[in-house]
Structure 1
């Protein structure tokens, strides 16, 4: 019997990932949708053939889903989680988990007290390309340098709610950068020092205050150090993570991962030219978590580290010095 699922927030992410993901799931079915834009709500509800609601509380009361996928603007996430916790409804939430360390701690407590399972959406964790990296890192000796890059061009970085700090909690670091930060924490854990430079100057007189471009420098007690480059302005769309060690290197892109010898020769490579829906895999995994068959690898406790890393980036610019993310916790 399939789990009953609903979607709260019908923007781009829901349309591109969560709706197709649910329609392709073998373990969950879409039973309702919710959005505060009446035009979008009625259009999607009619197209999908499910009831639509303007208020999350009404959706939960009338359709009693097993879990909801929450894809709302960053500032609105907490209120939806609180409503779901009060109704004992589980949540699969679009990143970020929270907009600050304080909010992350409070949300973790709300989930615990509500006996509710929450998993943050990080689809790269369900792609074999990314899960194979740890094994390759073991083959390159002592890793000492890491470099990440994630950029694309959006004509107006200030458009919509993502352009404002009050609603978004930050710009490219907390939003698109969350994916690259997650890879870093997944493979290496939380750094011991972080410092960031960022700006809102890509579009002069754009009228936005959430950073469009950032460079984050970081280091570990182990001796590993490096940087992340993030931009919502820089073309072409590029995503990679490179790790250099004493016996070789690993280069990860969205479609492949390579292990290179010291001279740059490819020693091994994994590609995935035919990929099933990662969104569906993520939903099916969450259903297995709810059924007690899998651990929640992306829950509130894990994402306290993400919140600390991101807070360190913003705090470091204000302080003008390196910040230890662990001190944020």
Structure 2
């Protein structure tokens, strides 16, 4: 049975990932779209040839989809999820899950009360390159050092609502950094200590208060420690996670993972250069299987309370100038 899906929010993420993923899905079909900007809505409707709505409630009442893909600005997410839960409509939500720990806890209760499934979109989890990392980590002895980096350059890192901490909940940590944070939690779990330093000064007088660049230091009770650099100002565009162990290391970059020996020589390598489009479709198909009771929801509200705690500990540590245990944020 094909699941009937709608997309709410027709910005960059929907155009690049979610709409192509739906059109390529073998288990879901696009039946409607929604955007608060009438001009944007008309442009997309002309291409997609499906009903369009400017109000979320009207779409849900008229179309009654099985699930919606929510790709709205961070501050608008809770209201949309609430509207869906009230009507029993399941949600595939663009990251982040929430803008704070209290909001994350509130959203988890909303989903439970409405008896809906909510899954956060994290395409890397549906890319074999990333899912193979755990097996490679088992082959490098005892991991003790993490070096992460996710950076790119944009001329205006505070553009639009993303530069306003009240709307976005934060800057590069909660937004683009969510992907790298998810990898850390996926592979290693919540650290026991986090401290972050970050700035809003890449563009002097830029008029934004959400961080453009951040360095996060973290440690685990197992003596694993490391740092992560996040930036929407630092060139070149880089996505990497290097984990060093007592018998070698694992180097993960976009589309490639390598296991290296102690001298840095490549022992084995996996590449998948065309994964993004298929990963989006795979994520949607997986969510449909969750709704059909065939798969567990591994990226639901309960799992993402940890993400909210990690992110909150970064901001708390900056204020306090001290390490913070993310578990205490819960």
Query: What do residues 49-70 of structure 1 show as CA deviations (whole Å, max 9, x unaligned)?
Result: 1111111110000001000000
TM-score by length of 2: 0.99
How many Å apart are 1:274 and its aligned residue?
Answer: 4.1
State the distance in 2 between where 1:265 and 1:12 align.
39
User: Any idea what SS the aligned residue of 2:21 has?
Assistant: helix
State the distance in 1 between where 2:274 and 2:156 align.
33
Aligned to 1:172: 172
Aligned to 2:107: 107
Aligned to 2:209: 209
State the distance in 1 between where 2:95 and 2:256 align.
23
State the distance in 2 between where 1:123 and 1:37 align.
27
Aligned to 2:256: 256
Query: What do residues 101-147 of structure 1 show as CA deviations (whole Å, max 9, x unaligned)?
Result: 00000100000110000000000000000000000000011100001
Query: What do residues 36-89 of structure 1 show as CA deviations (whole Å, max 9, x unaligned)?
Result: 000001111121111111111100000010000000000000000000000000
State the distance in 2 between where 1:192 and 1:240 align.
22
Aligned to 2:196: 196
Deviates more, 1:47-56 or 1:174-183: 47-56
How many Å apart are 1:244 and its aligned residue?
Answer: 0.4
How many Å apart are 1:209 and its aligned residue?
Answer: 0.3
State the distance in 1 between where 2:33 and 2:115 align.
23
Deviates more, 1:126-135 or 1:37-46: 37-46
Unmatched 5+ residue regions in structure 1? none
State the distance in 2 between where 1:221 and 1:271 align.
33
Aligned pairs for 1:17-96 within 5 A: 17-96=17-96
Aligned to 2:304: 303
State the 4+ residue runs in structure 1 displaced beyond 2 angstroms: 273-276
State the distance in 2 between where 1:171 and 1:129 align.
27
